Chain A
Amino acid sequence: SAVISQKPSRDICQRGTSLTIQCQVDSQVTMMFWYRQQPGQSLTLIATANQGSEATYESGFVIDKFPISRPNLTFSTLTVSNMSPEDSSIYLCSVAQGQGEKLFFGSGTQLSVL
C-alpha cells in the first residue's frame, strides 16, 4: 500500500486561528479524502479532494471553513479556518489505491483548540 505522510502530527492552536494540514503520498493516487474523527467517535467524511478542481464537500462541511487544495496526484492540504474548541479532533488524510481502490489512512493530525 502507499506510504501516506501527514503533518503536523499534532498541534495546539488558539481560537480564531487557522491550521493547514499536509498530506503527501509516495505514489500517484486517484482519490484522496479528508476525514474527521472526534474523540471516541467514528470517521466522518469531510470532503473528496479532486485533483485540479474544487473539492467535493459532504453535508455539514463548507469550503470557507475547510478549504482543500490538491495541486497534483500525490499531495493535498486541508485548512481548518477560524478555529473554535469544537474543531478539536483528529483529522485523517486517506487515499484510495490499488486494485479495487482500497482505502488507506495517513497517521492523522491531532488538533486541540484552546
Chain B
Amino acid sequence: GENVEQHPSTLSVQEGDSAVIKCTYSDSASNYFPWYKQELGKRPQLIIDIRSNVGEKKDQRIAVTLNKTAKHFSLHITETQPEDSAVYFCAASIGGNQFYFGTGTSLTVIP
C-alpha cells in the first residue's frame, strides 16, 4: 500500500507565528490528500484537503500545497493560536478507496 511520511514529529511555535508540516507519499496514483486535527481524547477531524488537480488551497488561516512531481504536500497554519495545539495527520488516498496516514505532528502553540 501507500507509504506516507510526515515531518516534523513535534513542533513548537510562539503564538502568532506560522507552522508548517510536510508530508511525502510514495504512490503516484494517490489523488486526494486530506489533513486531520486530533485533540487529546477526541476523534480526528478533517480540517482541509486537496486534490491532485489543484496546487494550493486556502481556508482562512490554513493552507495546503501539493507538488505532484515531487510527491509531497504541506500544511501551513498562519497566525497560530493556542487552540491550534493538537496532533495533525496528513493522509493520501487513491480515489477514496483506502486512506493511508502519516505518523503525525504534535503542534504546541506557546502563548
Contacts and interface: CB of A to CB of B under 8 A. Distances in A.
Interface of A: 30-31, 33, 41-45, 48, 58-59, 92, 94, 96, 100-108
B89 interface: yes
Nearest to A58: B1
A105 B47 CA distance: 13
A4 to B, nearest CB: 9
B34 A42 contact: no
Contacts of B102: 42
Contacts of A105: 43-45
Given A100-B51, A102-B34, A43 B1 contact: no
Interface residues on B, range: 20 to 34
Interface of chain B, main secondary structure: strand
A70 to B, nearest CB: 15
A37 B93 CA distance: 18
B97 A31 contact: yes
B96 A31 contact: yes
Contact of B43 (A30, A48, A58, A106): A106
A100 B44 contact: no
A103 B96 contact: yes
25 contacts: A30-B96, A31-B97, A33-B98, A42-B89, A42-B101, A42-B103, A43-B44, A45-B98, A45-B99, A45-B101, A58-B1, A94-B99, A96-B96, A100-B32, A100-B49, A101-B32, A101-B93, A101-B95, A102-B49, A102-B96, A103-B34, A103-B96, A103-B99, A104-B46, A105-B43
A42 B43 CA distance: 12
Given A92-B43, A100-B96, A43 B32 contact: no
Contact of B46 (A33, A41, A103, A107): A103
B88 to A, nearest CB: 11
A58 B3 CA distance: 13
